[in-house]
Structure 1
């Protein structure tokens, strides 16, 4: 609770709350349909249209694993039903709801720890752009980030008054989480870190271990049983090389260039380390959670949001304690404060620059509840994502049926448009569906380097649908068994000679 001296005037608190909410909504506004979305919808359609549970792949014609363990299966079922009932707007409303609830849970968790309204809302002013890359339209990761924030809130509520009975809601949440997205180990890790932190502090930790054990058992309530854990372990042990989200932060910086998410994350790391040093690592739970999430974020790009989420829940009180607590002035403390201030300014600068660029786009943009499939990059000459809309229209109008070899990012979209008449050689399900040998052959084909023809001649492709221009287009143009049948400004379609 805030003291009268620390409390903000109500008009100021209301204004800051409204500003924070607006920033979150601006960050969440994105009408681009993520390539993973089509994978969810395809599974949902198979779930409702085919007989039995889809435990074997039906979308590809290349070799696949004998069993298809889709750890996002319930997301596919939910999104397909929403799409069928109300269309893309329903999926967008779900995304906005999850994002806003995540923001609210972080705010409430920070207040549970004793942070003032000002310090609790400072997170959204310093790092609100985080919601832009954490909540695209639509990825099952949105569920994981929401549940991670919900776990923090429940854990903090139980810690606040030592009422550990409230922790027993977590196994029920975990059973749902484990069927929506494979990121549920983050929740188990969070409980484990709470137990370790309290053990370090010499406080009661057994209630957390009991709940952790039951939560682990709850993850087995899924269509795959223990196979879900086996699949996720394999997924983590063998992430697809070259995919940005599985690259380390230094690797992403070198190979993909700097971006707002990298800059904000690195600023968060520096800010967090400085805060921990200033607080002398007094809060053991926060120390363990932040160091763990910072490490995971540095190792894999896709794990960066966990540190930002943790900072949103735990950082405000720590910032308040550092700024308003100990007043002893030393040279070391002054240097640490300067260190923290510099990183806070870096976070704020990235955030401001992001919103300066994003706000006009949102204002001038179209329907925020739409799901757009652009047929060209938003900036010509870039590798920004787009879809082969016109090429697929051409194939659909021509009544084509057969096997299509596309870029993997287009595979799910093509299946959504053309299945069951057409199957694809590859899509973004990568290691969950395709053996490593097939994936390696496919990526050699894309590079049009040594051995690129192996994938082309080994499997029964009828159509090759790729980017226009570049090495692969040139290589395909020289292939004697293939002819170009369609091209537009961005894509080109090749058909096997003698085929349709």
Structure 2
């Protein structure tokens, strides 16, 4: 084959592999779309923009409306509110995927600076994307992962010449301070970022001191002793990074709240479980662990013991709390590709045939290109299908129940299962408030947290942590606290609560399908003498699970980019009330005639 033809085929192969890898990781980052708290995050940001001021007490709740709200996710919520206004829900999902690809591109750029071929670095991104995929949702953690990537990229740039000249590119290291400011205002994961940053700075300082002692011990006129000012500057950056977490609307109260909250067990939250309880996420975890160990042992590149120690510490954290797997994957993506490349070179030396490329005929080249296009088309089709089917799954979320509530003007104070609460408070605003939602102890005292979980879990304390002041388990307390008039439960996920409501004499079922169950207080909805009476023929009782995808955001009467606007919600509620008043008037006139 002529050399020009061979080079052309190699270029096709090179870029074809990169395209396939990009599509593969894009699918891993795009497959998870809506998560239960997204509605709430958009709503809180929209409320702030609408009011022109940050709320200081709990909103959309009847149980503790005056309780202080320490919101550690303000920046993210403002961002998604603006994103919803400008891009819509689908645009947010596309942006989420693009942000993940950008983060992986930062890792590839970092690897390229260490002379790692782009294809090798891109292949190393596959296990990274697999580790991120389960957690790559449009939620505040997304900003934690992005800021973590920027932080590690800055550290890599700052210490690029550290082991050769013991010099620091200070502009990149100083960048870590504003990163910590932004991170603190976006998500509580800043605590993990601060620990990583201080660990790197502290270990670099130890490394510097040991090297300086060694040089001083064998000092002669031809040797330059590293300047102690470097150690001082590292300490100053560390102190400035600590001070950065106090730059937030709450000052010292936010770090203090974080400290107290992190000491509290959270067995109710699945992401705080161990890696061994996380199901399929254990596969990418062990893949990353094995690759890290093997590459570190067999590499011919100089090992950076600071990176290895910090990577190991993050891996240990991931064992204890599976949500830290994403941080482990990010650190691997920045620090391990250079050793993965070296490992591959050792394998090629052992089996030289793996590193040889054979000439291909023009026909074989065309067939190879055709195969690449076929696979790329399939991966692009899957990605397009994921985005095309974006919406609210009726079989997972109570879209149909909310539509029924809107049609029947059922509103007021709602006790709702944990995973649906932030959807409920956004979809049913402003006429319905909830007793408890995913904001947890940022705006709810532990006693309120416990009384809600008493209903959901019953006497099962295996997945619970109860405060010492919450008293004995009592599933009835939440049904009386704040005088709620409606209860919405997941019939599949909340069997203890469903059984309790089915046997409760004070509550009557108003709506049932195979997913959701809605009960109303009997004195409100089952008394024919009350204007709120709902006759049996208007109640919907079924065991059929709703099917289909509702258009985002799955609100009964609102859609589009401004569906979360308080003005739009108020106007729709007024129209619904006006229509209801007209209907009542017509019924009265009919009865009079």
TM superposition score normalised by structure 1: 0.82
After superposition, the C-alpha distances for 1:448-496 in whole angstroms (9 at most, x for unaligned) are 4463223223441110111236343232122111111111221111000
Pair 197,112 (structure 1): closer, same or farther in 2 beyond 3 Å: farther
Tell me if structure 2 keeps the 8 A contact 1:405–1:425: yes
Matches within 5 A, 1:148-163: 148-161=148-161, 162-163=168-169
Name 2:340's counterpart in structure 1. 319
Q: Does 1:452 align with 2:453?
A: no
Give the drift of 1:149.
1.2
Matches within 5 A, 1:118-137: 118-136=119-137
Q: Point out the more displaced range, 115-124 or 95-104.
A: 115-124
2: CA distance between counterparts of 1:151 and 1:87?
A: 29
Q: Does 1:182 align with 2:183?
A: no
1: CA distance between counterparts of 2:379 and 2:40?
A: 31
Pair 32,156 (structure 1): closer, same or farther in 2 beyond 3 Å: closer
Name 1:33's counterpart in structure 2. 34
After superposition, the C-alpha distances for 1:162-185 in whole angstroms (9 at most, x for unaligned) are 422332222222222221222123
Q: Does 1:403 align with 2:413?
A: yes
Q: Does 1:234 align with 2:260?
A: yes
Q: Does 1:284 align with 2:305?
A: yes
Q: Does 1:496 align with 2:521?
A: yes
1:363 to 372, 382, 385: 382
Name 1:87's counterpart in structure 2. 88
1: CA distance between counterparts of 2:47 and 2:126?
A: 43
2: CA distance between counterparts of 1:484 and 1:194?
A: 58
1:442 to 442, 452, 464: 452
Matches within 5 A, 1:288-367: 288-324=309-345, 363=382, 366=385
2: CA distance between counterparts of 1:264 and 1:326?
A: 22
2: CA distance between counterparts of 1:320 and 1:487?
A: 57
Q: Does 1:198 align with 2:204?
A: yes
1:275 to 287, 295, 300: 295
Q: Does 1:210 align with 2:236?
A: yes
Matched residue SS, 2:392: coil
2: CA distance between counterparts of 1:41 and 1:279?
A: 46
Name 1:147's counterpart in structure 2. 147
Q: Does 1:70 align with 2:77?
A: no
State the Cα RMSD in Å. Answer: 2.8
Larger Rg: 2
2: CA distance between counterparts of 1:421 and 1:80?
A: 21
After superposition, the C-alpha distances for 1:13-52 in whole angstroms (9 at most, x for unaligned) are 3223212211121112236321121221121122123463
Name 2:363's counterpart in structure 1. none
Give the drift of 1:367.
5.9
Give the drift of 1:300.
0.8
Tell me if structure 2 keeps the 8 A contact 1:113–1:160: no
Give the drift of 1:104.
0.6
- How many correspondences in the alignment? 449
Tell me if structure 1 keeps the 8 A contact 2:198–2:238: yes
1: CA distance between counterparts of 2:176 and 2:383?
A: 42
1: CA distance between counterparts of 2:67 and 2:156?
A: 43
Pair 370,40 (structure 1): closer, same or farther in 2 beyond 3 Å: farther
Name 2:564's counterpart in structure 1. none
Gaps of 5+ in 1: 1-7, 330-355, 377-385
Pair 96,152 (structure 1): closer, same or farther in 2 beyond 3 Å: same
Matches within 5 A, 1:42-61: 42-50=43-51, 52-61=53-62
Matched residue SS, 1:485: strand
Give the drift of 1:430.
1.3
After superposition, the C-alpha distances for 1:192-251 in whole angstroms (9 at most, x for unaligned) are 23223323433655443322222222222221111121122222111422211111223x
1: CA distance between counterparts of 2:135 and 2:441?
A: 23
After superposition, the C-alpha distances for 1:104-158 in whole angstroms (9 at most, x for unaligned) are 111112223342324312212344323422312x111111111111111111112
Gaps of 5+ in 2: 1-8, 162-167, 212-229, 351-374, 460-472, 525-531, 533-593
Tell me if structure 2 keeps the 8 A contact 1:109–1:152: no
Matched residue SS, 1:128: helix
Tell me if structure 2 keeps the 8 A contact 1:130–1:308: yes
Give the drift of 1:77.
1.3
Q: Does 1:431 align with 2:432?
A: no
Pair 158,9 (structure 1): closer, same or farther in 2 beyond 3 Å: farther
